Chain A
């Protein structure tokens, strides 16, 4: 694997991590007045998957979308402005953190109704196949979303029409505070469910960006080659509370030790150590990256904080495309 790819995988994960940590830190100022679902701990998945996608490929995702959006190349400034509720935000302040999009990079949208985005993404790939385009669509969702009926309905149709879509399930073992054990039978296997529809798939380590990248390459080229949909699932762990900037292990729904185990397997830090050890990158370089990202984030925060709020009239626009009458 070439050095540039390795470095850019690292850079992307580090950037997402630093953005999320900034959001967490600034959230207490109460200027970001909307729910935020941070992806700290899960950065390797968005980075590894999106690194194998082109600009024309589509990505759609769920409530925990910041990493997906940024890794696909979504604009940081308009994302932060959206979270600040500003008119310069990617949705003009109408959506907030749970409704990001950036059409310039085909990040088509993220929505927080669990599972609801899966058929929509399948439909995007359906359009590509009808139009004869060779784009691939990737949809990110959590373990809980695979419990909704639309999950298997989408698998069925995608398989039926051999659609170029890659389903990416991020299994962090929890739906809010509810562990898998109260939602799914122990031996449930989504890979086997996909296979029952004739969909190929693989499971990987969601905290190992190279593992993700390798599987993504395979999945994307399979889908692009016209072989049909592909299902990927990655185990990982959300570090912070389900929604908000804090840690919530003290609530008792999961064990602190479990969290600490996963934190030892930090996707960013472990990859950084690996790259330094293998001489791909120096510690000094990593420090430079940090500084560069810090500057970029500071600028974006400044942009968001200084941007104007939408005007009252803006509330009434965009309900319909075109004129109503």
Chain B
């Protein structure tokens, strides 16, 4: 089995989509520069030429509209943004045009495009370089939203996203780019809208996505040491949202912890709880819980950011409380405490 990095999986998916379909092209700041969007676009220009692989003016809103127009006229653009925060300039084009074009013209036209958004985290990225806005996109009818955790899903979901006839928001957490995992060499697809049961368990359902899935996996290992078997569901797609898999799991375990790497209020973690309350209410053995970021912008100082991002220990304690057990001290779960947690956890390199 071949193991490659998440960033390499993205590159391979892009490469294979471009090889198979001449209407696929990729555009974004730095796509052709030596770093190639954290390695995800390296070598594409040499292979497919500067007409299909292009850097662009720093003009996100206009360029998104241009991508949309080209999609209406038969192209399949992939657009990249090195931070979610930079693409906010293009919300008008995405929400008013891309998301609605198919609907507002009575289904006669379509906007097949992928918008790759990288979530920055760590090293003092701060308020304007590390936002996680998946809930915002998932709120908009007409957009699909995916956020893969593993290299396998990154490749398979990107292929599906490129082949899909709708605008797909494809969210990549920066700390996943270096993670390795099993990835087949041939082109394959992971369906949009299907969650993945990462680990089976009978006691509690941990529903997570993207980077937070790795924290959930670590939490489940710790919980197993205390005799609690957690089931982990990696959502993979937020829109469409695979309620069925989540509800099925909660019916089995009777307990839910929804873990989301984003703000708490009106976040996607609330959506998971709402669906559970509506559809699995009578199966719940205890009140479901949310783990999310506090409702404040990301602070820059590592001394604050350390406390901003929830980790495995917080998941563990939330579950323990559900079982009426005392919470563990951070030291009981982690070796390091008062050191900066602003670079990727060495334990999280995979394979996943």
Contact = CB atoms under 8 A, between A and B. Distances in A.
B123 A35 contact: yes
Nearest to B82: A176
Given A113-B85, A147-B59, A149-B61, A33 B302 contact: yes
Contacts of A175: 29, 58
Nearest to A150: B89
Contacts of B33: 176-178, 253
Given A113-B86, A148-B89, A149-B62, A177 B34 contact: yes
A98 B124 CA distance: 10
Contact of A113 (B29, B54, B128, B296): B128
B328 to A, nearest CB: 19
Interface string A141-181: 00011011100000000000000000000000001111000
A315 B56 CA distance: 37
B303 A85 contact: yes
Contacts of B129: 35, 98, 112
B59 A148 contact: yes
Interface of A is mostly: loop
Interface string B23-41: 0000001101111000000
Contact of B55 (A113, A114, A183): A183
B295 interface: yes
A94 B124 contact: no
Interface stretch (A196-204, A213-221, A306-314): A306-314
A93 interface: yes
Interface in B299-313: 299-304, 307-308
Contacts of B29: 175-176, 178
A149 B302 contact: no
B86 A114 contact: yes
Given A33-B340, A148-B59, A182-B32, A94 B300 contact: yes
A15 interface: no
B300 A95 contact: yes
A319 B293 CA distance: 14
B342 A33 contact: yes
Nearest to A93: B301
Interface in A248-262: 251-253
**Most central of A35, A145, A176, A315 by chain B CB within 10 Å:** A315
Contact of A315 (B35, B54, B86, B304): B304
Contact of B58 (A91, A115, A253, A312): A115
Contacts of B123: 33-35
B70 interface: no
Interface in B122-142: 123-129
Nearest to B120: A35
A106 interface: no
B296 A93 contact: no
Interface of B: 29-30, 32-35, 54-62, 85-86, 88-89, 123-129, 294-297, 299-304, 307-308, 340, 342
Given A85-B302, A112-B128, 16 more contacts: A33-B302, A89-B301, A96-B300, A98-B128, A98-B300, A99-B127, A99-B128, A113-B86, A115-B58, A147-B57, A147-B58, A148-B59, A182-B56, A253-B33, A314-B304, A315-B296
Interface of A: 33-35, 85-86, 89, 91, 93-99, 111-115, 144-145, 147-149, 175-178, 182-184, 251-253, 309-310, 312, 314-316, 319
20 contacts: A33-B342, A85-B300, A89-B301, A93-B299, A93-B303, A95-B300, A98-B126, A99-B128, A112-B129, A113-B85, A114-B58, A144-B58, A149-B89, A177-B34, A182-B56, A183-B55, A183-B57, A312-B304, A315-B304, A315-B307
